[in-house]
Structure 1
Amino acid sequence: MTAIPSYILSGFLGSGKTTLLINILKYCKENHLKPAIILNELGSVNVESHLFEDEQVFELLDGCICCTIQDDLKETLINVVKQHGKEPVDLLLIEGTGVANPLELVETMSSPSLLKYFDLQAVISLIDANTYVDNQSIFTSKTIRNLLESQVKGATTIVLNKVDLTTDKQMAKVETKLAKYILEGTKVLKASYGKVDIPVLLEKRISSTVLDNKTCKCNNHTHEHKNSCNHHQEHHIGIKTMTIQDVPSFTKKQLSHWLKSLPKGIIRAKGYVKLEQKQGLYHFQYSSNQIDVSDQPQKGVIDPCIVLIGQDLDTANIPEGNIIII
């Protein structure tokens, strides 16, 4: 069985990972490539599953695959291998949560039991050029600052996204900040709406070495190398999700007003809502103070809900307005 070319998609909340993933899938379809996708969400609901109805998707919910549900990721990767044996896939795309450390995902995929099945090609990190510098000051937590740094240092390819929302002065500040962390040889691509040269994006940028021995000698001591995650949920401090259910209907204007009244610590919002005088549920996304509501109602969705992702979420800080918080 040939190893599956694999890619990790990383990036902070709202940076545009899902949009980039959709662009990659369009390229795959045009070039008759069959992908497998692992989607990870911090919450219990994946409100973007409708975007991948025709794809082979493995969902991991209620935690981050780099630590809290790392074993679930390993089990899912084994399931991908089993499926690959029945119906081969051409590549694997792993979209981590916005608070996943890509270096830890690389460690998981480098486990001896998985190494021969997956050929890790690149770690692609997205950066929201419009908010990257602001996030350095908004988030005073050292843990989150370290995470933002790790998502840059752990990348072999960086997509500097949302450049259309960024002034020349902002861009200069972003590039100055990134220069402190970007490792030599890292490819940097600028994009709007996640539109990049996909063949360049998918170029192999990771060189892997496989050792047969289970032990190695360092400083004249022989020991086994084992994966560890001693920090537990350390890099999740301050980042939480909140799911709001039983949501009444809105006008688009009301939805926009409510989202923009949320505390600054809320980085991302998404979900399904009813729009007044319209049938069905409509998908929306909110990040970088920008709101996108779908034009067409979604199929197969039963209950409206809103998922908020941010720092130190507290129901007391969420404006009720026309929304009932359960």
Structure 2
Amino acid sequence: MIDVYLFSGFLGSGKTSMLTDVIRQLKEKGLKPAIIMNEFGQLNFDSQAVEEDIPLKEMLEGCICCSGSEKTEAQIQSLLANEQFDVLIIETTGAAHPVEALDAVYSPLFAERLNIKGIVTVADSKLWLDRNRLTPQVRSLFLEQIRHAHLLLANKMDLLSEAEQSKVVFEIQSINSNAFILQTTNGRVPLNLLEKLQSTISGKNDGIQPAKIGVHLHLTSRLVEFKESFTQEQFEEWIRTLPSSVYRMKGYVPIEGMKNPMLFQYAYGLVQWLPEYVKMEPKMVIIGENLNQINLIGEI
């Protein structure tokens, strides 16, 4: 299995500085990284920081968390099929919502091959103090990127006074009390701190494979393998029992009367079914909070 880190944070927060330093540490340890870089615009400014010997996939003019979701899956599949590497790092655009970016990465097509180690968010400490000047939409995204992180870098601390530094850490901790907060300059994070993020749990239990991300962290995922078929009505009736803390579901659901499992997607209460013309493995990924407290279909 390959460890996967998702780097999140606003444009200019210090993600690329963190990326280049983490690449250096990985190579010094004898580990080969692969990179997927998501940028807006037609020019790949950030990707110029990645050395030529490192497998790199780029997504320009699109967000990893919306129309780029399928492209991200294709990029990961291409890397898995054609490259040898030990660690996958995905640097998202600053406009990516962490849950949706994770959804794009955690496909049922290759979920069993990846260890989603966690979301590392770089927060611009100076911008945090000035966040009230942001538009409500941008400020909300800033807060969401912080709330769902498994590791938080309070970056650009060298630009603040000691009182301001304390204020930033206290306020960010009030948004996300589960994540470790590291005060940084130039986005430098020790590799061993990244490696301590809890890996995906493997092993099967009655056809259900828990895949929690992080230790005692709210944002988790769960890989479900289906052993029986359902009607669409039965499946959607089960969906209506789910709490609002289930954000995303996608995968291939075996439906009675259908030759192949159907492609199923769920996002914030909206359901989509599509016929699948290739026989895919009947499995589904669920992303949300407190997933160990929900009953899976067949358990209720």
Range of TM-score over shorter length: 0.5 to 0.7
C-alpha separation in 2, matches of 1:171 and 1:18: 22
Task: Check conservation: 2:122, 2:152, Cα contact below 8 A.
Answer: yes
Which whole-Å CA distance do the structure 1 matches of 2:72 and 2:56 have between them? 13
Match of 1:187 in 2: 180
**Aligned-residue offset at 1:220:** 10
5 Å matches for 1:173-212? 173-184=167-178, 186-205=179-198, 207=200, 208=211, 209-212=222-225
User: How is 1:258-297 mapped onto 2 (pairs within 5 angstroms)?
Assistant: none
Give, in angstroms, the shift of residue 70 of structure 1: 1.4
Give the 3-state SS of the residue equivalent to 1:63 in structure 2. Answer: coil
Residue 148 of structure 2, aligned match among 154, 157, 162: 154
CA contact (8 A) 1:159 1:191 kept: yes
1:7 touches 1:93 (CA, 8 Å); kept in 2?
yes
For residues 144-178 of structure 1, what are the alpha-carbon distances to aligned partners after superposition, in whole Å with 9 as ceiling and x for unaligned? 12211110111100011111111122223312321
Aligned to 1:221: 237
Q: 1:48 to 1:13 in 2, by over 3 A?
A: closer
Residue identity matched to 2:151: T
Q: Does 2:133 match 1:138?
A: yes
TM-score by length of 2: 0.68
Change (3 A) 1:64 1:229: farther
Matched letter for residue 63 of structure 1:
G
Amino acid at match of 1:44: Q
The residue that corresponds to 1:106 in the other structure is 102
- Mapped contact 1:9–1:96 kept (Cα < 8 A): yes
What amino acid maps onto 1:164 in structure 2? D
Q: Of the candidates 15, 29, 47, which is equivalent to residue 27 of structure 2? A: 29
- Return the TM-score normalized by structure 1: 0.63
Match of 1:235 in 2: none
Q: Return 5+ residue gaps in structure 2 as ranges.
A: 201-210, 212-221, 241-248, 251-264, 270-300
Q: For residue 3 of structure 2, what is the amino acid of its counterpart?
A: P
Q: 1:15 is matched with which residue?
A: 13
Counterparts of 1:173 and 1:219, CA distance in 2:
47
1:171 matches 2:165: yes
The answer for the alignment partner of 1:292 in structure 2 is none
- CA separation in 1, counterparts of 2:91 and 2:103? 15
Q: Which residue among 109, 112, 115 is the counterpart of 2:111? A: 115
Aligned ranges for residues 19-98 of structure 1 at < 5 Å? 19-54=17-52, 55-84=54-83, 88-98=84-94
Distance in 1 separating the partners of 2:173 and 2:37: 30
Distance in 2 separating the partners of 1:79 and 1:7: 18
Secondary structure of 1:12's counterpart equals: coil
Counterparts of 1:10 and 1:57, CA distance in 2: 18
- Confirm or deny: 8 A CA contact 2:120 2:152 kept in the other structure: yes
Q: Give 3-state SS (helix, strand or coil) of 1:14's partner.
A: coil
Contact persistence 1:133–1:174 (CA under 8 A): yes
* Greater relative contact order (Cα < 8 A, sep 6+): 1
Task: Decide whether the 8 Å contact of 1:66 with 1:105 is kept in 2.
Answer: yes
Match of 1:289 in 2: none
Distance in 1 (CA, whole Å) between partners of 2:182 and 2:225 is: 36
Describe the SS at the equivalent of 2:111.
coil
Q: 1:228 and 1:218 mapped to 2: Cα distance?
A: 15
Structure 1 spans left out of the alignment, 5+ residues:
232-326
The one-letter code sitting in structure 1 at the alignment partner of 2:60 is L
| 1:117 partner amino acid | R
**1:279 corresponds to:** none
Separation in structure 2 between the aligned mates of residue 219 and residue 153 of structure 1, nearest angstrom: 31
- Secondary structure at the counterpart of residue 196 of structure 2: coil
Q: Contact conserved, 1:122 with 1:202, CA < 8 A, in 2? A: no
C-alpha distance in 2 between matches for 1:31 and 1:150: 33
The amino acid of 2:31's aligned partner reads L
State the alpha-carbon separation in 2 of the partners of residues 148 and 218 from structure 1: 38
Counterpart AA for 2:18: L
Please report the RMSD computed on the Cα atoms of aligned residues, expressed in angstroms: 2.7
Residue aligned with 2:120, SS: strand
- Number of matched pairs: 223
